[in-house]
Structure 1
Amino acid sequence: MTKTITISNNIDYKEIKESAYDFLDKYSNGRLPINLLDIINKIDNLHLIKYTRFARDRKLKLKEVCELLQSEDGALWYQTATDTYILLYNDTITNKERIRFTVAHELGHYVLKHNEKTEKTILSRYNLTEDEYNTFEKEANFFAKHLLVPFPVLGNYSLFFHQMDARFIRIVFQVSYSVANYVIGNLKSMSSFGLVKDGHDVENRFAKYIDTSQSTRICQTCYSKINRNSNYCHICSTEQRKGSSTLDAYLDNREREEERMRYYKYPLDEDGFPNSCPRCGNEELNGCVFCNVCGVYVRNICLGDCGDNYDVWGHSVPIQEQLANGCGKSLAGNSRYCPDCGGKSSYFFQGLLKNWDIEKKESEGLPF
């Protein structure tokens, strides 16, 4: 006997929104844009398959796959015998944002258990009543929007920049213009009631990523990631202007992220000490500031404007003569310079770190 269900026209949008946030809180890696593939890989009874692979495995044409699944975009196929799901999407579609929304939409059907509620292996206009189909599609669309653009996370950016626009949402969350504009409409509606963001624990899941993205930027000289309020780049010593907290400045900086250079970094503890000597690898430092094997100064601190490493006779200048010259700030394991005063670091002074441009060229495989 075919199971029939009663559909109410009153969709509980608040509950669906909470379901999307709970789902993200459980499966997201806490970074933006939302990594849908990473999420799906964490769910045991859900598998992602491309239309082209599905067609190849079953010796079908793409058109036949669309007809079988009754969709040109995607479908959620429920395998009742094994209680597993196959999420299929049309990978021949060139619009990346459209594919992302399709996958998020089908995840909505999965989380909201639409297949199980109707006992349908595939949801379509042809095996559901009009009310059932329309209701499920609205619910899945609403779920997808809040999965891709979680308002508790978006609200943090709105508060930080004191504004929000569709371009920012489209680029940072990787959604289409239509979704971004729809979200802006929601934000305006919320602001009319004095609200800026939704409250949910999922915000904590993204807290580290949000803090880092708001407090850092990319140096335009060496393309390392630096603190937004640094006076100097700690890699190349380029003097920095104060970071601008605007949407456009953030997006411009985000574009440079693709060219970001990750310079070699010695691991240091919270007090600035390495677990082993950065020169000889001696692991028995016992809290000493000078390695008892090779004599190198093991902490990376600011030595100030100490000039060259050699005196007028060409002799190496002992680091002991430089320790009191700088501001003494404890620096990161890849810092050549102090971000506050621009002074040279003890690691760079001792030759433990290469010139930034040499390391960058080596990483790019470029000739000197």
Structure 2
Amino acid sequence: MHSKKIPDKLRYNRTLSIAQKFILEQNINRLPVDPFKLTARIDLPIVSASEYAMAMNCSFQHVIRDIIKSNDGTAKCVDNMQFIIYNERVASKGRIRWTLLHEIGHVRLGHLIDFEETRVQRAGLTKTEYEVLEKEADCFASRVLAPPIVLEALKVDNATRLITLCGLSRLAAENRYKDFSAKLNKRRFPDLLEIKIERNFHDFIHKKYCVICGHSFVIENAKYCPICGKKRVYWGDGKMIYSGYELDDKSKAKVCPRCENEETSLDGEHCIICGSHLVNRCTNDDNENNHSYEPCGILLPGNARYCYKCGSQSTFLSNKILRRWSESQADEQVASTHDNFGDIPF
């Protein structure tokens, strides 16, 4: 039953909390957010203006002018069923993305069911009431499409980065960055929901690739590529995944790489059958790169030829358990991970 009074100003804390909980509930863990997959998961029907026109036996122009009443989209509630209609002919994919999250925001914030006056259209609403609900939906969309804790972790410092990172239109990116940068210096310690969101986005935040060997990996604070040892590591997706050996939590091979002995869980770092060293760690020996560093000896992943912290050889490379990346490259699995819109029905 519609009974609540429309607020006279943006309920920022409530809107932010609902957006954060939505990110966690839907397990959103990478950008850009795909609104079509979201609406499918939350069982929220979404139809294009053309599809709606065909179903209602009316013109596309009628849907835009009299149903949506804008050039973008609308959320509606008919017989207690909520759904979204959007203009698929909008040229900007970023604008469509924003429109859909904006309308999802209206639904998740209860705008369609909480108030007597609203169907989230101008009819029945004063200008002030309409603008308040629009601001709340925009706030929801901005926090889901570009979560501040993720932008901060990735050190986003311009609007152009938001276009490529979050899939926003130029205007939306500029507005989002203006709001984000204004609040950045006023931010306190992250709250519990933000900490959970950052944890959800861990692999996305820390993904890296090497421009030399193309290796794609996720390691926090990596300075060197663990495959080729070069200091040409950047944030993003690579094209190559190099195979290695399965290790336990102490970087010890679960199966001996040389004799395939499976009894490796005993104390010690050497195979009890052939004597091979089973632990992959930094050797602190940097004969190739000649870097100046403090010895580290950290444990390394099962495919690491080099230490990602200091660039030294790994024990697996030094002991010839792993071949050099250039020798094994032809045998490796190619895995394209570049972001694209190939699976998004824009």
The bucket for the TM-score relative to the shorter chain is 0.7 to 0.9
The aligned counterpart of 1:92 is: 89
Question: Aligned pair in 2 of structure 1 residues 51, 300: CA closer, same or farther (>3 Å)?
Answer: farther
Matching of residue 271 in structure 1 with residue 269 in structure 2: no
User: Percent identity, aligned pairs only?
Assistant: 26
SS at match of 1:77: strand
Question: Aligned pair in 2 of structure 1 residues 305, 134: CA closer, same or farther (>3 Å)?
Answer: closer
Which residue identity does 1:47 align to in structure 2? P
The TM-score with structure 2 as length reference comes to 0.72
SS at match of 2:151: helix
Q: Tell me which of 256, 262, 285 is aligned to 2:241.
A: 262
Question: Aligned pair in 2 of structure 1 residues 95, 284: CA closer, same or farther (>3 Å)?
Answer: same
2:223 & 2:189 partners in 1: Cα distance? 36
Segments of structure 1 that go 5 or more residues without pairing to the other structure are 244-252, 308-325
CA contact (8 A) 2:163 2:170 kept: yes
Which residue identity does 2:44 align to in structure 1? L
Measure how far apart 1:263 and its partner are.
1.8
Question: 1:60-85: per-residue Cα shift (whole Å, max 9, x none)?
Answer: 654454354444322223243xx443
Structure with higher Rg: it is 1
Which residue identity does 2:226 align to in structure 1? H
The aligned counterpart of 2:195 is: 204
The aligned counterpart of 1:310 is: none
Larger displacement relative to structure 2 (109-118 or 6-15): 6-15
Measure how far apart 1:144 and its partner are.
1.7
Output the aligned Cα RMSD: 4.1
Which residue identity does 2:197 align to in structure 1? F
CA contact (8 A) 1:78 1:122 kept: yes
Q: Tell me which of 211, 235, 238 is aligned to 2:227.
A: 235
The aligned counterpart of 1:19 is: 18
Q: Tell me which of 24, 44, 47 is aligned to 2:45.
A: 47
The aligned counterpart of 1:107 is: 104
The aligned counterpart of 1:117 is: 114
The aligned counterpart of 1:180 is: 173
Matching of residue 336 in structure 1 with residue 334 in structure 2: no
SS at match of 2:240: coil
The aligned counterpart of 1:137 is: 134
Question: 1:89-123: per-residue Cα shift (whole Å, max 9, x none)?
Answer: 33332312101110111011111211113468953
CA contact (8 A) 1:334 1:353 kept: no
Question: Aligned pair in 2 of structure 1 residues 348, 73: CA closer, same or farther (>3 Å)?
Answer: farther
Measure how far apart 1:55 and its partner are.
5.3
Question: Aligned pair in 2 of structure 1 residues 291, 189: CA closer, same or farther (>3 Å)?
Answer: closer
Which residue identity does 2:160 align to in structure 1? R
The TM-score with structure 1 as length reference comes to 0.69
Larger displacement relative to structure 2 (23-32 or 54-63): 54-63
CA contact (8 A) 1:25 1:201 kept: no
1:188 & 1:337 partners in 2: Cα distance? 38
CA contact (8 A) 1:303 1:346 kept: no
CA contact (8 A) 1:170 1:180 kept: yes
2:286 & 2:237 partners in 1: Cα distance? 34
SS at match of 2:16: helix
SS at match of 1:85: strand
SS at match of 1:359: helix
Measure how far apart 1:209 and its partner are.
6.4
1:305 & 1:11 partners in 2: Cα distance? 59
The aligned counterpart of 2:292 is: none
Question: 1:253-282: per-residue Cα shift (whole Å, max 9, x none)?
Answer: 44xx34442222433222012333445655
1:232 & 1:199 partners in 2: Cα distance? 30
Measure how far apart 1:150 and its partner are.
2.9
Question: Aligned pair in 2 of structure 1 residues 355, 37: CA closer, same or farther (>3 Å)?
Answer: same
1:298 & 1:236 partners in 2: Cα distance? 21
The aligned counterpart of 1:218 is: 209
Aligned residue pairs total 324
Question: Aligned pair in 2 of structure 1 residues 23, 329: CA closer, same or farther (>3 Å)?
Answer: closer
CA contact (8 A) 2:31 2:166 kept: yes
SS at match of 2:241: coil
Question: 1:269-308: per-residue Cα shift (whole Å, max 9, x none)?
Answer: 220123334456554323364445676543324457699x
Question: Aligned pair in 2 of structure 1 residues 306, 167: CA closer, same or farther (>3 Å)?
Answer: closer
Measure how far apart 1:354 and its partner are.
6.4
SS at match of 1:206: helix
Which residue identity does 1:18 align to in structure 2? S
CA contact (8 A) 1:21 1:147 kept: yes
Q: Tell me which of 168, 180, 187 is aligned to 2:161.
A: 168
